[in-house]
Homo-oligomer: A and B are copies of this chain.
Amino acid sequence: MKLLQAVRQGEVSPEEAAGKLQMQPFEDLQYAKVDHHRGIRQGVPEVIYGEGKTAEQIIGILGAMQEERNVLITRLSPEKAEKIAEVCPLRYHEIARLALARPKEIENPVGRILVVSAGTSDMKVAEEAALTAEALGNRVVRIYDAGVAGIHRLLSRMDELVQARVVIAVAGMEGALPSVVGGLVDCPVIAVPTSVGYGASFGGVTALLAMLNSCASGISVVNIDNGFGAAYQASLINHLGGAS
């Protein structure tokens, strides 16, 4: 937040900031409140969670946002995307069910986020993560279909693994990928369980539990299928490392 950054830079005292925090305007659309003090850093998009909102509501929120910003819309069905595209420039990614409204080219993506996934079916979550990370201004490398039952596939990409500043490891079923990756790299690993599997995979719960119990250090976990959340945190981490 701009205000808090001012605090961090010593321009505003924390006490003043805390007071102002409550006073800042946000636009009330009745069905949603649009914050005008989030994400004002250059190149960083606003985010709309598309699930459970109608195309009309999304268009309304887009209208209330600043014209010059690009906006990331997650969990967006093709049908809604089509309607929105009629009134606003939209770049839609079907596999990831994700769109960029008023898309702009990210000019100087920073650092390196590696997105590695276990199976073909995990790709939709992996792509949600990769596309989100790119939209947030990060350089992204993808390694897909590298499940632990074929460990040689992962080892053959060892060079890319060790160059990552942060890894997003996406897997369903037994969710073992982050443990193996976490043993190979020396950077933070964000594990994303997916709902891929059947029977005792319980819609991703098995992968989630396995990841939480990883024997490798340096791993943390987000909700099932939450590619966006992993990418958001990965971006915060990757930007800490500076622009190179």
A residues in contact (CB < 8 Å) with B: 1, 4-5, 7-8, 13-15, 17-19, 21-24, 26, 30-33, 35, 47, 51-53, 57, 118-121, 123, 144-153, 155-156, 158-159, 162-163, 165, 173-176, 179-180, 182-188, 190, 193, 195-226, 229-230, 232-233, 236-237, 240-242
Contact = CB atoms under 8 A, between A and B. Distances in A.
11 contacts: A13-B159, A17-B162, A21-B155, A32-B145, A148-B179, A149-B183, A174-B213, A193-B199, A218-B236, A220-B220, A237-B240
Given A120-B32, A175-B174, A180-B149, A209 B200 contact: yes
A112 B14 CA distance: 17
B212 A162 contact: no
Copies of this chain, whole number: 8
Contacts of A51: 121, 198
A102 B217 CA distance: 22
